[in-house]
Amino acid sequence: MLIVKKFVFSPFYENTYLVYDDTSRDAAVIDPGCYDDSERKRLDDFVIQENLYIKYLINTHCHIDHIFGNAFIKEKFNSQFLAPKEDLFLLDLMIKQGEIYGTPLIPSPYPDQFITEGEIIMLGNSTGKFIFVPGHSPGGYCVYFENEKICFTGDALFKESIGRTDLWGGNYNTLIKSINEKLLVLPDDVKIFPGHEEVSTIGYERRNNQFLI
């Protein structure tokens, strides 16, 4: 069985997820927003407490609030680092992004592997599949565990909202098309774990999200 632990990190109130198999203890850190020493310690303490093996470091996209902790996770756990090739320019712009927001940061390493649509990751016996959902950024991806009916939607789809499209490479029409064609086709009872705010479900968003009705 997969367990999801959410941490809310940084002045951006970003959701960092630790998803792990309760038997093998294989884990993935999705969008590490840990911003300072105290936040990095909170995550590390939980990993130690639960005896987790951080197999993957995943960026659903590469805006700074989702990549603050990349260097820490990679150095601390030597995890396989997966990120979208289409967002590589955002890693290159990381310092500039930080300067714009007045935010100190540790530069991110480059990915070990680029994410491609349909690519599979394994946590114990659980299979996660990457779904390409551009629009918030050119390289937005979601991570969908079909058997567990959970989907990590990054900043594409939120409870009753969608991601901004006024940042680098964003496109409103592309995002709406992506959500309609890639996410709203999932079963109603799939839980979505977004990059900010609260958990929702596909069915709830189909009925209540003002951007999608």
Of 211, 213, 187, 65, give the one whose Cα is nearest residue 135: 211
pTM of the model: 0.97
Q: What is the CB neighbour count within 10 angstroms for residue 192?
A: 23
Of 112, 21, 97, 103, give the one whose Cα is nearest residue 58: 112
- Provide the 3-class DSSP secondary structure of residue 187: coil
Which residue matches tokens 């290159």? 92
Tens-level pLDDT at each residue, the chain (213 residues): 999 999 999 999 999 999 999 999 999 999 999 999 999 999 999 999 999 999 999 999 999 999 999 999 999 999 999 999 999 999 998 888 778 878 778 899 999 999 999 999 999 999 999 999 999 999 999 999 999 999 999 999 999 999 999 988 899 999 999 999 999 999 999 999 999 999 999 999 999 999 998
Pick the CATH number of 2-208 from 3.40.91.10, 3.60.15.10, 2.40.33.10, 3.30.530.20: 3.60.15.10
